[in-house]
Amino acid sequence: MEGSVDTRSWLRCYRCWSTDLEVQVHYEGIHKIDPESGERADVVDEVQEAVVQCLECMHDQPHLGFKDGRVEPIEDRWERMIAGTPWVASCTVSVEADDVESCSGPDAGDSLSFAAFGEHGTREFFTHVRFHKHDGDKIIVHLLVELYARSQDEATEVLEDAARGALTLTSLAEESRPPAATGDDLH
Ligand SMILES: [Zn+2]
């Protein structure tokens, strides 16, 4: 079944607009065994994780989810990411030191990004932690963040909503969009 133009506008890479996408599905399941046939039967427990990736530019697609065998847009996110342009913010977020799992070693960048912006920091934004400072019970995380938005106001709003502590924006500038993939019909 061919979807409408509306339906298909989100089914593409948010960065280069390529429609050459791939989903990596990791599935873990525990099933009852049917005593007659030996087949796996009722699900006792299951975990499914899926990541959609663009084969053109190799980026993850955080505006797309995978449910019941089909890729679906993530509401509140896909329109902004598909119609938006990249914005780069220089900012600090002041978080509780207790909310940072580790602030040194190989996981420090991810831990500090997650403490600052939650899942947005690790899944959606391109987040680069420049450095961090301890201040009593707080940690001040200094970051460079790239996110997609349709306007400066929207970019600011997304950052403010995602921040898990006091946010200070030092600068916010619009970047040019990465080049579009050459032709949507390439295989
Ligand atoms: Zn792409």
Q: What is the pTM of this model?
A: 0.81
User: In the structure, what pLDDT confidence band is assigned to residue 78 with cuts at 50, 70 and 90?
Assistant: very high
Reported as half-sphere exposure (CB side, CA atoms, 13 A), residue 59 has a value of 19
pLDDT tens column, 93-106: 999 999 999 999 99
The pLDDT value given to residue 7: 57
CA of 17 to the centre of ligand 1 (A): 6
pLDDT tens column, 29-75: 899 999 999 998 888 888 888 999 999 999 999 999 998 889 999 98
- Residues 89 and 147: their CA atoms lie apart, in Å, by 8
CA of 21 to the centre of ligand 1 (A): 8
CA of 181 to the centre of ligand 1 (A): 7
Contact by Cβ (8 Å): 176, 85: yes
CA of 12 to the centre of ligand 1 (A): 8
Contact by Cβ (8 Å): 16, 178: yes
CA of 56 to the centre of ligand 1 (A): 5
The pLDDT value given to residue 183: 55
CA of 18 to the centre of ligand 1 (A): 5
CA of 175 to the centre of ligand 1 (A): 17
Strand pairing report for 70-73 and 85-96: unpaired
CA of 180 to the centre of ligand 1 (A): 8
Reported as half-sphere exposure (CB side, CA atoms, 13 A), residue 46 has a value of 12
CA of 105 to the centre of ligand 1 (A): 31
Contact by Cβ (8 Å): 54, 20: yes
pLDDT tens column, 137-175: 999 999 999 999 999 999 999 999 999 999 999 999 999
CA of 78 to the centre of ligand 1 (A): 14
Query: DSSP assignment, residue 135?
Result: E
User: In the structure, what pLDDT confidence band is assigned to residue 6 with cuts at 50, 70 and 90?
Assistant: low
The pLDDT value given to residue 48: 84
34: phi then psi, degrees, rounded to nearest 5: -70, 120
The pLDDT value given to residue 61: 95
Contact by Cβ (8 Å): 29, 45: yes
CA of 156 to the centre of ligand 1 (A): 24
Contact by Cβ (8 Å): 62, 26: no
Exposure of 140 by Cβ count < 10 A (0-12 exposed, 13-18 middle, 19+ buried)?
Answer: middle
